[in-house]
Amino acid sequence: MRYNFSVLSCLYRWYFHELFLFSSFSVKPGLNQSGPLTNIFKGDADQANKTRSDLLSTSTSVFELQVVSVKLDRLSEYLKDFGRYIDILKVNEKDTHLLGSWTCDIGDQGNIYHLWQFTEGYTDLSIHHNLIRNNKDLVLCQQKLDSLLHSRKNQVCLPLSYWPYPNPREDGFENIYELRSYSLQPGTMIEWGNHWARVMENVAEDNEAVAGLFSHIGDMHVVHHLWSK
């Protein structure tokens, strides 16, 4: 079992919220396979032919979780240049939304996390990536940002239907957040969903549960739970 602990903090309002904790560990099979999600498999043939992604998420939107490792002595410069990048992007693209960005206080302190939303799913995601590859201003800005990094990676995710839908938070500047990422064994995603669907039925509606996502492209069999404190 792997477990990593990081504390992340707020940068500035709207684009940057405060993220308290990032952790990850692997989970082995063994959860109860009966539950609200597996009941769907008992329906008609069309239901049975649905993919696990269809069963776990009903959203048309997709999300991109991007993690960049910034050189520690260039962090302030990165934040300033990233603000310019967002300003350029907003002028050229209306259907891509940056829901939040976080720095890391404890753990990998050079890491910054960005969560993007594409409202029309993979169509908007494709348009976005074509834009950032071909728009001269964005390309130049990205090259400057890359010179400040050790590395960057991303993952395309779908929102879990039994979690609150991820939305920008007007009070995000006042909160701390906990992000837990789980690496599941292949074939256990529905079992995991059954367990957490029952858990979420008993979670108080006090904005503690912010978002639940699972990987669709990139590192597979990964689940992210985002909580607010």
* Predicted local confidence at residue 54, as pLDDT: 67
pTM for the complete prediction?
A: 0.78
Give the Å distances, CA to CA, from 130 to 33, 93, 101, 123, 190.
Answer: 41, 11, 22, 11, 34
pLDDT digits (tens, 9 = 90+) for 67-98: 999 999 999 999 999 999 999 999 988 778 89
Q: Between 27 and 166, where is the model more confident?
A: 166
Structurally, the chain folds into a number of domains equal to: 1
Among 168, 169, 19, residue whose Cα is nearest residue 104? 19
Q: At 105, which CATH number?
A: 3.30.70.100
Q: Between vectors from CA 102 to CA 99 and to CA 105, what angle results, nearest 5°?
A: 165
pLDDT digits (tens, 9 = 90+) for 155-204: 999 999 888 888 776 665 567 777 888 999 998 888 888 888 888 887 75
Q: Which domain holds residue 36?
A: 4-228
* Predicted local confidence at residue 175, as pLDDT: 73
* Predicted local confidence at residue 176, as pLDDT: 78
